[in-house]
Amino acid sequence: MMKKRSGAHVLVESLVNEGLTTIFGIPGVDTLSVYDAFLDHPSVRAINVRHEQSAVFMADGYYRATGNVGVALTSGGPGALNTLTAMGTAHNDSSAILHILNDNPAHVRAKGRGYFHDVRDQYGIFRPVIDFGYQATMPHEIPDSIRTAMTALKSRRPKPSLVEIGGDAFKIATDIAIGDKSSSHRRKASDEELGQIIDALSNSKKPIIWSGGGIVHADASEECIKFAERLNAPVITSQTGKGSIPFDHPLHVGNWSNEKPVREFIDDTDLVIILGSRLSYFPTGGWTLKFPGKVIQIDIDPAELGRNHPVHMGVVSDIKDALTRLNNHIVSKKIKFNTSERKPEIKALIDKIHTALGKPVEVDVLDQLRSALPHESIVFNDPTTIVFWMRSYWKTYLPRTWFVPSGFGTLGFALPSAIGAKVAKPDVPVVAMHGDAGVMFTIQDLMTAVEHNIPVILFVFNDQGYGVERRHQDHLYGRRSGVDIQSPDFVGLAKSFGAHGVRVDDLSKVGEAVSEVLNINKPSLIEVPCDFKHPGYGSFIDWSKQ
């Protein structure tokens, strides 16, 4: 029999048993017992944030940078509801988050009696932004809640899991044993399905691979590259698939699928293999992209098969397992495909796009940043103007190094997510790209980075307003309302937090500023006054003028 201890201690033991020793959160009156239990477990690192949504954003960044589950701990009521935006972002972008929160004791929960932090249906509020949830009301349920949540996180498409623990459960003593760790049960393609894919490839002369975020999430980039090389197949990536194949690989086409020459390139294919992508709105030009010939889609989530484009064959499978077995079959059977040489064609295609794009100031700034940052640097992006250039132009060499809230478009995402990533990968440069408006949503957590000595680099591209919305207003209405705002002294603000702050007034010196702060072992803010032009959501280039 285990000795009796509180449910709070059982929770911490359950997390440590799963290897979950980095926790992002804020102590609340009902979770103080958990923070007390942390003190009995030296392996646990609790990162105290300044806003609850940042706890989930940091857990999200931790996951994105490593593929390991990120953990957030928040109190109930307002603390819990403050996380909904971040939970929605993680859900939309397929991030594996374990969010633990408390609810009120059973005798007052959701009864409307005016008890502290009373919420009518706290768990129900989270249903749209979680894939799995567990409500534990007694301490003996806690080990199973964590184990089951982790099994779901390991076995399904990455999505947030929620464990809600009633306030009584933290205080009641129990002798429950923690038990075994979670397990993984990911679906795998059958041999017959993989054989049908090989048959389709054998009849193809010009296949194309569409590589999505699922390749990155599954750590299947190496397998994807080998597969492409054996097929001699060009690789188009979605926004979230950036880095699944290196920018400088001769089969890399990248996220240029809204440009006319790439559309024509796609029109000349006879088979498209969609790997871990839902074919979302932006990379398909509002779902105007159509694939000729056969379409094969492989995804861990059966709901995505054929959702946004008709497919001839849909396969539910762990992507890494499917590609590994396909590659092994091709090698063992010494299969030679009758595919055309595409590398010179790809080079000509990319050269044509870059020549037409030219060297606007936005591209020059990105070239400076790319030259200054090592290839392994991790970049988190808010939906600010310069990032809309980056979604296609940024040169990504490695998986898990470029992130954007692609579906939710969440302002305030980049800084706390970058902090979470830097906690996970302290030896890798981590950068957050923000506008002056969006950074104000979460800039308070620059103090978190200072307090915990997490040396992230925060860029603030300051155009004195909501630049993306300003572009829309100018285009749609020809006048402005609410988009021009006043900014604080960002450098002074950074210094007041204890961070390093510098302002770069010369856009030709942005790269130099990055090189300088890379060697400063403290959080750094680089403010860049600018007046960047938005490239639009579809084609960057007016091809009628080329």
- The CATH code of the domain that includes 9 is 3.40.50.970
Decide if 160 contacts 129 (C-beta within 8 A): yes
Domain end marker among 122, 139, 174: 174
124 and 89, same structural domain? yes
Q: Which pLDDT score, from 0 to 100, does residue 499 have?
A: 98
List the chain pLDDT tens, one digit each, 546 residues: 578 999 999 999 999 999 999 999 999 988 999 999 999 999 999 999 999 999 999 999 999 999 999 999 999 999 999 999 999 999 999 999 999 999 877 766 666 777 767 888 999 999 999 999 999 999 999 999 999 999 999 999 999 999 999 878 999 999 999 999 999 999 999 999 999 999 999 999 999 999 999 999 999 999 999 999 999 999 999 999 999 999 999 999 999 999 999 999 999 999 999 999 999 998 999 999 999 999 999 999 999 999 999 999 999 999 999 999 999 999 999 998 988 899 999 999 999 999 999 999 999 999 999 999 999 999 999 999 999 999 999 999 999 999 999 889 999 999 999 999 999 999 999 999 999 999 999 999 999 999 999 999 999 999 999 999 998 898 889 999 999 999 999 999 999 999 999 999 999 999 999 999 999 999 999 999 999 999 988 899 999 888
Cα(147)–Cα(98) distance, rounded to whole angstroms? 11
Q: Which pLDDT score, from 0 to 100, does residue 344 have?
A: 96
Strand 402-403 vs strand 378-381: parallel, antiparallel, or unpaired?
parallel
Q: Which pLDDT score, from 0 to 100, does residue 314 have?
A: 98
156 and 9, same structural domain? yes
State the residue range of the domain holding 396.
Answer: 358-529
Domain end marker among 310, 342, 374: 342
Question: For residue 396, what are the CA distances in angstroms to 137, 241, 283?
Answer: 46, 10, 17
Question: For residue 198, what are the CA distances in angstroms to 117, 209, 328, 425?
Answer: 57, 14, 12, 38
Q: For residue 239, how many other CB atoms are within 10 A of its CB?
A: 22
Q: Computed over its alpha carbons, how large is the radius of gyration of the chain?
A: 24
Q: Which pLDDT score, from 0 to 100, does residue 1 have?
A: 58
382 and 296, same structural domain? no
Q: Which pLDDT score, from 0 to 100, does residue 200 have?
A: 96
445 occurs within a structural domain: yes
243 occurs within a structural domain: yes
Q: Which pLDDT score, from 0 to 100, does residue 343 have?
A: 96
268 and 128, same structural domain? no
Helix (H/G/I), strand (E/B), else coil: 176: coil
321 occurs within a structural domain: yes
436 and 327, same structural domain? no
Helix (H/G/I), strand (E/B), else coil: 237: strand
In the structure encoding, which two tokens stand for residue 185, read together? 């049960």
162 and 56, same structural domain? yes
500 and 443, same structural domain? yes
Helix (H/G/I), strand (E/B), else coil: 43: coil
362 occurs within a structural domain: yes
In the structure encoding, which two tokens stand for residue 126, read together? 């989270």
CATH number at 332 reads 3.40.50.1220
103 occurs within a structural domain: yes
Q: pTM for this one?
A: 0.96
Q: Which pLDDT score, from 0 to 100, does residue 280 have?
A: 92
309 and 445, same structural domain? no
Cα(54)–Cα(439) distance, rounded to whole angstroms? 12
93 and 213, same structural domain? no
Return the residue matching tokens 């980039």.
Answer: 221
502 and 429, same structural domain? yes
DSSP 465: B
210 and 169, same structural domain? no
Q: Which pLDDT score, from 0 to 100, does residue 107 have?
A: 67
205 and 123, same structural domain? no
Phi/psi for 100 (5° steps) reads -110, 130
Q: Which pLDDT score, from 0 to 100, does residue 475 have?
A: 86
Q: Which pLDDT score, from 0 to 100, does residue 46 have?
A: 98
Please give the tally of structural domains in the chain: 3
Q: One-letter amino acid identity for 259? A: E
535 occurs within a structural domain: no
